[in-house]
Structure formats: C-alpha cells, structure tokens
Amino acid sequence: MAFVGFSNVKYNTKSPHVVCLQTSKRERRWTTCFHGNRSCFLGQRQPFIPTPLRRRADLKMTAQTKEAGSEAKEKTFEFQAEVSRVMDIIIHSLYSHKDIFLRELVSNASDACDKRRFLSVSGGSAADNLEIRVEADKEKKQLIISDTGVGMTEQELINNLGKIAESGTSKFVEALGQGKADVSLIGKFGVGFYSAFLVADKVEVTSRSLQSDKTYRWESHSAKNYTVSEAPEPLESCGTRIVLHMRDDSEEFLEPFRLEQLLKKYSEYISFPIYLWKSRTEFEETEEPKEGEETATDSEKKAEKRRVPKTVWDWELVNKNKPIWMRKPSEVTKEEYEEFYKSIAHAYEEPLAYSHFSAEGEVEFRSVIFVPKSLPFELSQDMFSDQSKSIRLYVRRVFISDSFTDLFPRWLTFIRGVVDSEDLPLNVSREILQQSRVARIIRKKLVRKTVDMFEELSKRDNNDYDTFWTNFGKYIKVGVLEEDDRSIRDELTRLCRFFSSKSGDKMTSLDDYVSRMKPTQKQIFYVTAESLSAARSLPIIEKLKSLDYEVLFLSEPVDEFMIGNIPSFKGKREKEENGEKKQVEEEFRLVNVGKEGETVDLPELKEEKPNEETSKELEPLTKWMSELLGKRVSKVVSSSLLTDSPCAVVQSRMGISPTMERFLRAQKGDSDRMSAFMEAPVLELNPKHSVVRSLLEQVKKHPDSSDTRDLGMLLYETALLTCGYSIEEPSSFAKRVSHMMNLAFSGNGRAEEHSNDSTATSIETPQVEVVQDGNNT
C-alpha cells in the first residue's frame, strides 16, 4: 500500500497549532496559529524552537532494537516527544468527521493497486486480481481492509508509516522520471493513514512487497509507539492487510450497512473493485409433512412445500457505477447522462441541459455539469441555501466534498455536477480547498462552460429556455450584478429576459428589443414596478406607448440592483445605408423613464415639450402644490410624458423607487430613520388634463379653501397609488374621498331638486342673492 505525504505545504488544522513551512532542504521556518506569540505544540509547556543542529529527520522515529527471544527479533520504535504531539494534532484536530478514515484507507489501497499495475505494465507482465476488500468482525471488534496492491517491505513500512507526511508515492514518481499520463493515476495523499486512530485503539498492518517473498507486520497501540516484525502468517501474494481494533465509541463502523453507505459516498468511482463482506437473505424451499385430520394416519399425511429464510454471507461488489466523466463524450449515451444526473442530484426528472468536457494545459480536470429542469427543493426555501450541494469534488475519482464554494460562484448554486482534478490544492485533511491560482483557473473555466451551456439552451426552438428562465432567471440577474468578468457579465445580460409593452405574455431579450427599435430611437426605455400589472398601468409611460415606443418592465426586486451594472447595451438593428439594408451594431443607453433627470431623447417629445408660456401659466398651481405638500415631494413640475393621467409621482434624481423603498424599509425596520436619507419624489403635472386645469382655476379663486386643499391632496395621493408608492395616512385619504363623495352626491341632489321645482320657486318665492363665504366653495 502506498502512503504518501505533502512537501513544502502548510499543515492547516482547524485548531490553533504549529505550522511548518519548509523553505529549503536545510532551512525550516516555524510559525504559530496561536493568538499569542509563543509557538508550542499541543500539550508542550515551552515553545518548540528547532536548532540548526537538529537533523532533517526530526520527524522520524529513533529506533531501538530489543530481543524478543533467542530466535526471532522484534524492532520497537519510539516516537520523539515532538512527533508524539504532532500525531496528537493529526488524530484529534485534523479531521472534522470520524468516517473520513475509511476514505483515506481505501484511497491508499487504490494508490497501491495503481502502483502495482504501473510497475507490472512497465515490466512487461500483467497484474491480475487488483481489488480491495472490506470486512467487519463484530465479535472481535475488528475492521479489516485489504488490497492486492504493490505492498511494502520492512524498510518501506518504517519509512512510509513511521514518518509523518513522508511522500512514498511522490518519491516513486520522481524516481521513474517518465510517463506523466500513466503516473498521474498514482495518488499523492499524505497523512491519511493516521486517521485510522480516530476509530481504533490498535492498528495492525501486514504487508508483502511485490519485490519480496517475506511478509512483515507493523503494529501500533494508540499511536504511542510501533513495532515491526516478520509476520507469523505470511500473505499468499503481494498486498497489504490492515486490521483496526475499534474503540467502543466507533462500533457503528462495524455495521455492514454503514460501511456500504460510506464506501458508496467516498469511493464509488474508484477504478478497482471494492468488495464488502455482508449478509443477504435467501429463501429455500423445504418439504414438511402436512398434518391432516385427527383420524388420518401418518401415511396419509401430505407433504407441503415451504419457503424458509436463510442468511448467507458473501462478498458483494460495492462500486458498480463507473465514472462517466472519465470517458469520452462520444462514448456516453444520453440515457447514461440522465441516469447519472438522477443519481448525483437525487432527482426524478431528466436535466434540461448538460456539458461534458475536460481541460488540459496549465490545469487538468474533467467535469460533467447539468442544468436541472426544476428548482431544487432546498433552493425554493432559500435562494442561496447552505444545504444546496452544487458540485461534487473528486480527486482521482475519490470523493472529497460537495460543500466547496470556491469552485462555483453563488449565482450558479443551482448547477449540479462533478469535477475531478489532479491538481487541486487541498489542506492535509482534504476538507478545505485552499485559495490558489489553480482553483481560480478551474472556477473560471467552469463558469465559462456553464454560460456556454445557457447560450446553447437559449437557441433551442422549443420552450426549454422559457422553463429555465422561469426557474433560474433570478440567478442570472444576480450573476450580472456579482460577476467580475466583464465578458461573462455581458453574455449574461444577453441571456436576460423581460416583459415589455409589446411582448404581451411572452418575454423578450435586449437583442430582440433593439431589433424592433425605430430608426430615430437612441435609447432603451424601462420602468420599475412592484408587479407586472402595476408596470403596465404606470402613467409615466402613456406618452411613449401612444407614440409606439417599447418600454421594458422590471418588476423583481433584484432588477433594480442588476440594472445598475448595465449602463449601456450593444445590439444590432437594421439600417439602410446607400440604398442597402444592413445589420449595424450600436451602443444604446438604458433610461429609466420613471426617474427625474433621465432625459428621454425623442424628436416627437421635443416638439411637444411645454413651452415657457405653458410653464408660466401653470406656475401658480405648481407653487401652491409645493407649499401644500411640503417635504412630501422635492418639487412639482410640468410633464410632457403624460396623456390620460392628470399627474404622476416619479423617482427623484437622488431618490429610490417605491419598490426599493419598501425593500429597504423591510430590511432596516426603522422607517423614520430611512426617510431621513431618502430624497422625496417629484410630482409631475399634465398641463393639458382637465382636472389639472380645473384645479388651477380653483387655486386662483380659492387657494385657502379646505375643499381646494382636499382636492390637491387627493390628486397627489391618487398619483402615489397609481405609481406604486404607499400612502402614509390611509385613514386621512379615506376621509377625503368620503368628503368629496358627499359633496358630489349632495350637489347632485340639490341640482335635481332645483330642476324639478324651478317653476314653483320663481312664482311663489322671491329671488334671493346668495353670497359665498371666502372659506367655502
């Protein structure tokens, strides 16, 4: 079995301990993870400072030989004090879960089989029966893991198992110095063997090397010391046999069901067969005499066939599935991809799209990624749930984790798939992906392939992309907001879909919007609203709709954050040049129609803008409304974008939209404090509307009348409702509406009564002059 370590790497542990940086063959630099300035090993009172005179073998064990009898000799090796403390760190602080031990030991067994296969092929012979077997003995409380790999000699047992982080396999690769493609299969994992002490008090390793006929046994009790001797019972062929004497708190790992569960989780795709000793129930038929009536004799009793359960123990193959990402895409069928997706994503339906690729060059890895057809359940509860297992990370087909967040950005958390790499820099326990250039390159290539898959999906003639956008459109918008790569962000922008004033019940892309633009149009128009129906009824877009200009509707909270990252868009539209129609690419600025200061550049509006006379004529009303509303609005102006509505409330230059205001209030909770930082909206009046003209006349005649003030407030509050804003005092608004309704009904009643009795009144009653009070209408 090959046990491999790391060189020139940090020992990253989850608890504060010493970290050794080996900068050269003769120099070591020691740092500490403690909050203080003393570098002490676990349990050591004084700081450990290696001296220049310390040998390079300071992590080795000093050997002492003692007589075990007159004939045989047993070699006992003591750990040095410093090494003992490092072992304590490895066993108790390096791993967060005890079940990792099985992954590490099976991975080492796989490395040993790889090693033997390579040596056999290079030597011209064949390596048969390369396999791994796992067996649990509950009575003896033993777990046995054996392989038919390359095995180890006595000296290799001392070197590979007696030195911390000794890289046996890496030395093997360096010695070969050739054949990178084949050698890459050989593992380079390090201190994983010592994870056995997480669950075992005593560990026995019996091994026979491919290059020797002798079998040796390595034995250690609680990682205090170890002995190496010639095994009393030699192995029949080369290989290694590990016996773990389990602790009382680790007896769960003696259950075949639990072992099978862990083997399928971590080692399902190892290239060598893994057999587990387990039981199964079989039924066999037996003949039993059927008892008849009491008068029947024994000879008359009939025989009856009966099925009797029987427990049978046998070796069962665990890793039946094959890693499809290791095969060429042309060799994998669509059905195989779908079945593989269902197994890793625990889904019942086929994926919308998938991509199978490999990367070569500075970084080598293989991957298969899938786009689900529906939103995973955990993401329906939380958009970025920590429970979502996006990508399963493998290193040489050994499962490492599905919780790494560095391989995919969070806006791709809905993607499912696997990544298998030879170059990922993991910490010693292989539970943390270290930040490095390799990880960034893999991330970049994965994002690139995923976006290409989205683009291919958008070009399909069916409704697949509509299904994709319905479920995952908000993630694409978050990608536009968070992605640092400008090229990726531009492609995500093209993938976005929006409803518009011309799209009806279907959504449109920015490319399609540009293709429908009028020749004179130079901007892309959009509005924000709480819902699609609210956006369609906004008064501010009435003029643009009447002039047949298309307006995009942004009705999701993330839209306003996203649109800030899209100041302009490059698209192609048809133009006539020299008598020929050509597709010309132009850059268009996105304009929020519902925001003050956003100039809508259209020739039709330039002709219809309110002139100085109109503005001056409306000035008494705008000034009166400003005084009436006070801090509720930043200003009152005349508008050229209104046709059917008398007025509209729009976002001020430094303000926020009503949708964003509600979102921020819900986040902060302190509405009064939020209001202090919000610039009030702008009230725009339609100078051509009859209501505005009537109110202007009323203001000129009775500016201080309570009814006039109620009319002004009612006009402003109805504009708030139609534009998506909230009314601060709904009860006051309701009272004003009721008051106006009473005036209308009482006025109609008096007019009707006066019409019916006009003749009688003119004869019987003398005409009386009515003088209106200045405070009443």
Annotated binding site for ATP: 104, 108, 147, 152, 160, 167-168, 240, 430
Query: What is the distance between the alpha carbons of residues 465 and 572, in angstroms, rounded to a whole number?
Result: 22
Helix (H) or strand (E) holding 741: helix 730-756
What's the angle, vertex CA 707, arms to CA 701 and CA 711, rounded to 5?
95
Q: How far is CA 501 from CA 65, 493, 505, 526, 544, in A?
A: 90, 20, 10, 10, 10
Query: What is the distance between the alpha carbons of residues 442 and 424, in angstroms, rounded to a whole number?
Result: 9
Query: What is the distance between the alpha carbons of residues 494 and 515, in angstroms, rounded to a whole number?
Result: 13
For the record, the structure tokens of 777 come out as 């209408």
Phi and psi, residue 229, nearest 5°? -150, 170
Q: How far is CA 320 from CA 102, 263, 332, 420, in A?
A: 18, 11, 17, 18
User: Which residues lie closer than 8 Å to 141 by C-beta, 6 or more apart?
Assistant: 245, 246, 251, 254
Query: What is the distance between the alpha carbons of residues 13 and 6, in angstroms, rounded to a whole number?
Result: 14
Phi and psi, residue 431, nearest 5°? -110, -10
The annotated binding site is made up of 104, 108, 147, 152, 160, 167-168, 240, 430
Query: What is the distance between the alpha carbons of residues 258 and 170, in angstroms, rounded to a whole number?
Result: 33
What secondary structure does DSSP assign to 357-416, as a single string? EEE-SSS-EEEEEEE-SS--HHHHH-TT-TT---EEEEETTEEEES---SSS-GGGTT-E
Burial pattern 561-572, b for ≥16 Cβ within 10 A else e, equals: bbbeebeebebe
Q: How far is CA 269 from CA 105, 253, 331, 399, in A?
A: 15, 21, 18, 8
Q: How far is CA 288 from CA 174, 284, 295, 303, 309, in A?
A: 69, 13, 19, 5, 15
